[in-house]
Structure formats: C-alpha cells, structure tokens
Amino acid sequence: MAFSSRRGGWAHSLLPTSNSNSKSKIPRKGRKRTFVKDFFLANFFTIGLSLSVIFLLFVTFRYGVPKPLAFKSTNSRLPKFRKPVSRKPISPEAASASGAAVDITTKDLYDKIEFLDKDGGPWKQGWIVNYKGNEWDSEKLKIFVVPHSHNDPGWKLTVEEYYDRQSRHILDTIVETLSKDVRRKFIWEEMSYLERWWRDASSTKKESFINLVQNGQLEIVGGGWVMNDEANSHYFAIIEQITEGNMWLNETIGVVPKNSWAIDPFGYSPTMAYLLRRMGFENMLIQRTHYELKKELSWNKNLEYIWRQSWDVEETTDIFVHMMPFYSYDVPHTCGPEPAICCQFDFARMRGFMYELCPWGEHPVETNQENVQARALKLLDQYKKKSTLYRTNTLLVPLGDDFRYISIDEAEAQFRNYQLLFDYINSNPSLNAEAKFGTLEDYFHTLRDEADRINYSRPGEIGSGQVGGFPSLSGDFFTYADRQLDYWSGYYVSRPFFKAVDRVLEQTLRASEMLIALLLANCHKAQCEKLPTGFAYKLTAARRNLALFQHHDGVTGTAKDHVVEDYGTRMHTSLQDLQIFMSKAIEVLLGIRQEKSDQTLAQLEPAQVRSKYDIQPTHRVISPPEGSAQSVVLFNPLEQTRNEVVMVVVSRPDVTVLASNWTCVKSQVSPELQHDKSKIFTGRHRLHWRASVPALGLETYYIAVGFVGCEKAKPAKLKFATKSNHLPCPAPYSCSKLEGDTAEIQNRHQTLTIDVKLGLLQKISHKDGLQNVVGEEIGMYSSRGSGAYLFKPTGDAQPIVKGAGQLVISEGPLMQEAFSYPKTTMEKTLISHSTRIYNGEKNSIQEFLVEKEYHVELIGQDFNDKELIVRYKTDIDNSRIFYSDLNGFQMSRRETYDKIPLQGNYYPMPSLAFMQGSNGQRFSVHTRQSLGAASLKNGWLEIMLDRRLVRDDDRGLGQGVMDNRPMNVVFHILAESNISSTSNPVSNPLPLHPSLLSHSVGAHLNYPFNGFIAKKPQESAAQQHPSRCFSPLASPLPCDLHIVTFKVPRLAKYSQQPPEGSRFVLMLHRRKWDSSYCRKGRSQCSSIADEPVNLFSMFKGIAVLNAQATSLNLLHKDTEMLGYNEQVGEAAQEGPVIISPMEIQAYKLELRP
C-alpha cells in the first residue's frame, strides 16, 4: 500500500505554500579535503615500508590528527561480517543492567524532538536543502536508481485478483524489458506473487528470469512470502513467512537474499532486525517512520545506521540500515527533497499512460537531445540535495510505486528516458557524478566499499565493528505518523476478530508441525510416512495462508471487506485441515489408529468447532449415554509438563472424570453462560478438572456417566445480583442473592473484590497482605476522523457501564467466576465479561493469574465511530511509563508524552503490557491476540478491544471498518511484587523484562492445550481399555527455554532424502527474565537454562544421530556469519548447547527411533 495518486490526499496536503513561516536551515558544511592531505593519501603506498613510521610521525607532528570526514583510511576494513567484539569485559549482571552501548536511542530522539510540525517549504516536512558544490570534488557522487514495483498480496483486491490483473503482467514486463539491455536493473520482493507466476510461466520465461538473477540485473530482496507487518505479527509467524519464501526461492531459483526491503509496513520493530541478522541478511531498507524522526536523523546525517538490540553488549546483532528520508516511496518523494520536481521524472505519468498527472502542475516530458542537458541538470540537482542528508557519496534513488511496470510501454518510458539522462551526466566529468540503474546489492556493496576507503566516523561515536563510519541505534519506530500529527495507531486494533484467528492458526500450525515430527521420528517404516506425506500439500497451504496474512494489509486489518473475507476463508480452511490431521496423528501416536494412511476417517474431533470463517468457535458438547464414557485427549504443545484446570462442555451435570489409567479425578460443574440478557444460562454445563500433561505429550481423560466408585462432578454454588427477578436457578445448582456492594471470589493465593453494582473488578488482595487496586473500567472513544489506519479520537474515552445489570457468581473448588452482563449508557449492551480465578495444583501457574474474558459485539448503528476500551486504573505509581512487547519476542519501554496527541501515545501490544511502580509492584496484562495499549494517566493501563468506523481515513483504502464480528478477548492478569531491588522505570531508559512467572503465563495463554474428543462413547469398563498417553521428552526443558518450532520443513521430499540427511529442525528461544522477581516463578519450575541442554539426549525413545546449527531461515551453516559466537556451531555437533538469554537458535537434526 502506498501514497500514490490512488491513495488520495497526500499531494495537496504536502504542496509547498507560498509564504512559509519556517526558517530555512543552513546546510551542513561540506567535507574539506586539503591538497596536502590528498597528496599524501594518494601517494601513501609508493612510500617504502621502512619509511612509513617516520612518515606517519612527521604527518602527525606537522598537521595534527586529521579530521574524521577528511581522512582516507589506509586500512581497508574487513569484509562484511566480522566477529563481534565486546568493547569491555562485562559480567552478565552488569550487562543486564547496562544494556547495549549505542549512539542513538529512539527514546532519546523522542525526548529531544519538539514535534512542532513546521512547514519546511518545498520539502514540507524538512527544510530548504542547499549544497556548496564542492562536496563531490574528491569523491564523486555515485547514484543508483533502483526500479521497483510494490505488489500488495491483498489490499483493495484479493491476492488472486491482483495477480490476474496486474502482478503477472508486471513480472512478464520485467523479464522482457530487462533482457533487452544489460544496463537495466530491477528488484522484486514478494514470493507469493513470484511463486504464483512461476506456476504459469513458460520454460523460456523461467530461464530468462534465472539468467537475469544470475547476471545481477534482477535482485530478489527480502524474499519473504510477503512484506510483513511489524506491529501485530508474532515472531513465530514472521520466521515462518520469511522461511517459506526464502526456501522456495532457494529451491527454485538457487539464490538466498541478503538485503531486506520494507518500504510499506507502518512502523518498524527491532525484532525484525534481529531475525534478519540471524537469517544471514546484511542490510535493511525501511521507509515509514515518524516524519519528525526522519527530519532529526536527516539533519544529523544519521539516516544510515547500525541497528543493535537493546540487550546486546557484544554487538552480535548489528545490521546496517538505510532509512529513506521523505514522505513516501513513490517517485515524487524519492529523487530528492522537492516532490514537484521529482514528479516530472516519473515518466509513467506522461500523457497517454494510466496514472494521474503530477498534482503540482508540471508534468514529465519525453527526454530528447534538445532538452537532455536542462533535464539532467535539474534531476542531478535533486540527487545532490538528497545526498547531503547522508554521510557518504553513494546515493540510493528508488524508482517505482504500487503495481508499476505493468506494461512494456510503461517500462520502456522509464528505462529509455532515464538512460538518456544518465548518459548525459556520465559524459560530463565536471559534474562529479555517475548515475546508473542498480539493485540494492549494487548500492550497499558500493557504499560499504566507500566506507572502507573513507572514514566517516564522528569523534566519540560508538558505531559498530560491522561497518565503520555510521552511528549505532537501538529502539523501535512506533507509533508512525506520516503527516500533520496523524498517528497510525488504529491498525493495532482494526479487525480484532481476524487478529485472533491469526494467532489460533499459528499455534495450531506449530502443534501440527510438532506432531508430524514426532510421528516421523518415532517410526521410520514406509507406512509411517503415508499420513504426513499425504498431508504435505495441505500443510504447505497452511504455512502459506498464515504467511499471506502477515502482509502489512492483512494482519493489520487494513484491507477491503471482500479481501478480509478472502484472508479469513483461507485461514479457516487451513485450521480445519490442520485439526483433522492432528486428530489422526494423535490416534497413531496413542496406538488407536492402526491404518496409518490419510484415507480413513478420524475417530477424534476437535473440542472446539468453527462452523464458518467469521464465527467464534463453539465447544463441542459431550453427551455420553448412561453407563458409557467419552474420551478427551489433550496435547501439550509446550516444553514443560503442564498442570492446569481444563474445561469442556457437557449436556448433563451428573458426570465423572477419569484419568487415562481409569482412576478418579476430582471435578466441578457450573452452568454455561452466554451474552443474552433474556437467557444468560444456555442449559449446558461447563466441566472443570485438573489435568496433567507431559511436555510435547498426550494424555487421555474420560467423561463418564454412571461410573460406580468415583465421585460425580461437584456443582458450583451460584449467587445472583439483578434488578429484575427473572433469573431462574438452573438445576442442580443451589442459588442465593448477593448482598452488599461488593462480592469476593478467591483461591489459596489471592482474593478478588468485585463491585456488585457495576460488575467490575475493584482490587486483588494477596495472602501475604499486599493489595493491588485494579479499578477496572469499560469506556468508549468517539472518533470522527478515525479509520482503518488512523486513531483520531475527539476527547477522552467515557465510561459506559452504569450498573443495574446482571451479575452471576459461581463458586466451586476448582474455578470461581464473576459473570457480568452490565447495563450501559447505550440502549444495546455491547459487552459482557467474566472474571475468573483457579485452584489448580499447589503453586501451579494458573493459581497466580486472574482471567478476564470480554465478549464484544460492536455491531449496529449505535456504535458507529466508536472505539471500545478497557482501562485498569491501578494504584501503581508508574509515571505514565509502561512496557509493551514487540512481536511476542522482546519488551519496549513506552512513555506518555504531553507534546504528542493521545493517539500518538498508543502502542502495539501483540501479547503483553505491564506497568511497574517505584516500589517494584508490577501489573501485567497478557493477551492472546494483538491489540493497542496506552498509559495516559499515572497508574492507568488501557487496552483497546474493538473499533467501528464509518469513514475512510484518507489513506487509500476507500472505506471504513464496519464488518465487526462478535468475539471474545481473553486477558491473563498478573499482579506481582519484587523480592529484591529493582531499577526505577523513570530513571532507567532500557526496557524491563517479564518475570519468569509472567513468561509462563504468556506461554500458557498463547499455546493452550489442543483438545480432541472421541466421536463415539465407549463402555466404561476399565479392564477393556489400555492407558492412552504419550511422553516424547526425556525430561521437561528448563522453564526459560521455549521451543519455537520442531518440524520437518520439506515433507513432500521426505522419502527421497538420503538416510544421513538432517530432516528435522528444532528451534529454541531462551527467554530473558527479570531476576528481581521470584526465580522459581512461584510455580512448578524445576530448572532454568544456565546449564547446557544436551540435544542428543532430549528425547525418549528417539536417538539424535547428528545436530547442526543453522540460520533461522534454515539456509546458512556458517553461524559466525549470522552473528552467533564460535561455540554455537561447535556445541551443536557435540550435543550440549548453552543459549544466551534472548537468543533464538535453530538446529538441523537427524533422528532415529
């Protein structure tokens, strides 16, 4: 998605005004290089080695230390990726406290910038740029014009519609026009379209394409399935989508990308920089960052920098970044600072083409011998002005826009005219410039070469050992603003229903991949391969459907309604396929299914059913007849044993729960509730019991009716508070009326106080005497200017709950709940919610959390231009500082600034946000879908749940967001206090890390049990049935070690691989946690990953014959090239591996039963 003429609004809003009030800034001084210095530098190598020391002493004595920008380094820098160098030996404790040493942090930039939105003249968001003219005397300007076409895999049209109408023609055009002239270049990013084209292309076109790639005319940049969003996407899905694209590309065309191109995501995450570095990428290009940040970085020539992770004290995560300086990636905003001039060099806008003319009034004209001099000098003037914003004399100029180069005529117009302009510039040495078409690789290679020859480092600059001459930076680039204080924080929440489906598909795909790997590792006979290989096509489709939705108009919720339907249908289809496969795989692993092919129907079915792509899942109702039992199988996709209270829905309350060995299990039954004022009770029942399932393992339980010798499920006690007296007491429960203004529910660790009138959570009291005020509030913003992208509220959110609704409290031995159907300020109640607390095994993770489940129905005209929030008004003194996660991978410190509007203080919350007070009290909210969060007042944490917007926000979509669906949002809330001294969030600029318990809570929420129910009941005679369980790990992994994925990447080729091949991939992430909170996480945590984990003895009954470290996209063996220390590759081959906190490491394994 771009700001092309199709987006509406940008051109006129950014037209220069005749009387600008902003003062033009004086350009920075050019680099001074004296004749004497040039003489010595040029003749340095002719001087004999024996005289070099004397000569250097003489120069130093005579001229002093040369200025950094004028010194040509005689030591050519080492190529590309060197070993990381720690500047000082640092202890782990000190490293944790200090974090990375960098020149720039995004927090520093926010602190410094005034956000005044000054008009800069022709470059509205900058200043009037000038140059002296001598800046290129000693190092000529090297200009690389990079033709490109941005192809959204879904936005206004579906991916298939775009392919049919545009993308296939563009790829045809590229192949034909580049083949005519070796000087022509192009870059391509999205593998989703290239793979689709490859299926249709003739063998001649395929051969031409490969030749163009091999001779350097055509570069694949990024090479992911899509150009993913960076705010809402989870790191698992980002790895998946890049790997899917990169592996297809390597297998089909034989190349592996090393330069990333991300011109359209709405803000940027350092998680992306980390993942790309560990995939072997060398350089990144980004575009959409806050225009005030661009201005500040441009002014100081810091638009090119080394991005370093905030925890990285050894510079192992460094990656080089080029940030584009101007408003958009279209031609008017890429050749230089004056769009009215640059537009004249977009030759696809000449009359006769399909694109709109230049909105500034002057249009492009055909270049010829009569006008070439004037036109070339006019264009070169823009190039030179743009180059003054960067340190080097190597310049990148993108040439493209959305879905460009659609016809031969259009492509020829660009290539033909530009070649004439280049020829003129290059034939005039006095211009000190050389211009040509190039790829990203051409640009970055030349830039690094120049940085090797000339030292651009500033005095005192930390920089990087990777590439000299550039500053180091840490932090993220949220929240993005493109113009006039318009902040793109709306898309953090748009289409939340599908953001939730995205995460369900992620965890279902991950679980399915694990089951495939376990199936194949446990059996190497040919018949064992039938089920997984028969599923290979659907597995690939599932990977690609998940990958497709990571597109920056997919998971963002910023596509047209029918495109959202297409994404949703694809995900729904894959979810159904994966669940059917999982049920069959589980049957094989438990020994239920003897026939190992994919043809026979499954005996199990998923416990949750999705009838349609846009409908919430419902629980399958278990109805065993008298004297029978129905089995429930639970798969634990986590790497630790789980002891958890689980729930299924039953048709009758008089049931018994039995373990896999047919021993009795204590259980509880309570009525099922629903969002229906006239009928809160559905007539069905929720059955809870404590389940224990081994790591990556399976456990079977039986729901029996009429089983003699075991106690039936214990009915919960119900308490009502309602103004109307029509709430009947459902059988077989005992009911009473709630008295007083507050009610309590509790377990052995905490007591929750509920406001009876409003049905909202007031406070949490802990058994040690500590209390946390929660102050839950449900509110609504009115927003006249908001749309799919932008959040533009009019004023603050107003509370909407006014009481006198219905409150039902269920009290039982395993789960206690307060369900509220409130009366609101609006005629129709749009929300109901439950507050739950659990009594699990002693010190189980579940006992320490509070579960909030909100049912939201933002549907109907009453809620037009409304945005729904929940706000927790706690007593934590957080000074409006909070921490939200980036992609489920790391935390970022967020600070509320008065100098930017409310919407600019909203940040992405893919899975976690927490506040911490100066006394160490911490309040965390975990979510299982990405949303937006803010802390607008001291102690407040607010999270947006849904938004319904009538208007288009003038960013090209052409519609509002009106396709809301009923949905449930689940939070797990954790109130903690530290046990040792901790840093003050106000004075510490670094992000804090979750506690070990908090990490576990998040993992349990995002990777729930996968439940399956037998289609048919069986007789409940114990002696007839063997114990049904499966436990593949020798022991649970340490509590801070997470299996990102355990999979067989290429199933279809599984049988054809040589026996010695490493078919399996295991990817591990070591979580970093805050040690000032309880080490054991107050839960059943047996070990942490300080000790090595031996890959060769991880599994039970499976031998690991070989282990090899690899990149996160599975395509590189050289771990040092990826930034890992030397030990990573060596340790894998020996078995025991130690993974540093925050690191993700991948291993290719060879497994045998």
Which residues are catalytic, by number? Answer: 264
Measured distance CA(866)–CA(825) in Å, rounded: 13
Helix extents (H) in 427-560: 440-453, 496-522, 526-534, 536-549
Q: What distance in Å separates the CA atoms of residue 774 and residue 752, rounded to the nearest whole number?
A: 10
DSSP string, 5-22: GGG-SHHHHTPPPSS--S
Give the number of other CB atoms < 10 A from CB of residue 73.
16
Alpha helix (H) ranges present in 878-1013?
996-1006
Largest Cα–Cα separation, the chain: 103
Distance, CA of 663 to CA of 709 (rounded, Å): 10
Identify the CA nearest to 71 among candidates 363, 452, 546.
452
For residue 176, the Cα-to-chain-centroid distance in whole angstroms is: 36
Is the backbone peptide bond immediately before 496 cis, with ω within 30 degrees of 0? no
Q: How many residues does the chain have?
A: 1153
Q: How far apart are the first and last CA of the chain?
A: 49
CA 368 to chain centre: 48
Ordered DSSP codes for 801-835? B-S-SEEEEEE-SSEEEEEEE--BSSSS--EEEEE
Please write down the long-range contacts of 901-904, taking CB distance under 8 Å and 24 or more positions apart.
901/485, 901/487, 902/793, 902/796, 902/934, 902/936, 903/479, 903/487, 903/489, 903/490, 903/790, 903/791, 903/792, 903/793, 904/479, 904/481, 904/485, 904/487, 904/489
String of DSSP letters for 1037-1055: PPTTEEEEEEE-S-STTTT
How far apart CA 520 and CA 595 sit, in angstroms, is: 15
Is 971 in contact with 979 (CB distance < 8 Å)?
Answer: no
Positions of E strands within 75-140 = 104-105
Rounded to the nearest 5 degrees, what angle is found at the Cα of 184, between the Cα atoms of 180 and 188? Answer: 110
Question: Cis omega (within 30 of 0) on the bond before 289?
Answer: no
Measure the CA angle with vertex 512, ends 506 and 518; round to 5°: 140
Backbone φ and ψ for 539, nearest 5 degrees, come out as -65, -45
Q: Which among 357, 448, 421, 418 has a CA at the least distance from the CA of 147?
A: 418
Q: How far is CA 152 from the centre of its chain?
A: 18
Tokens found for residue 15: 């037209």
| 3-class DSSP state of 648 | strand
Let me know: does 622 contact 652? Beta carbons within 8 Å. Answer: no
Which of 316, 312, 298 has the alpha carbon at shortest distance from 389?
298
Find residue 873's DSSP bridge partners.
940
Within 10 angstroms of residue 767's Cβ, the number of other Cβ atoms is 11
Q: How far is CA 817 from CA 665, 759, 823, 973, in A?
A: 21, 11, 19, 14
448 to 264, 336, 466, 469: CA distances (angstroms): 25, 22, 10, 10
For residue 369, the one-letter residue type is Q
Strands 628-635 and 1010-1014 turn out to be antiparallel
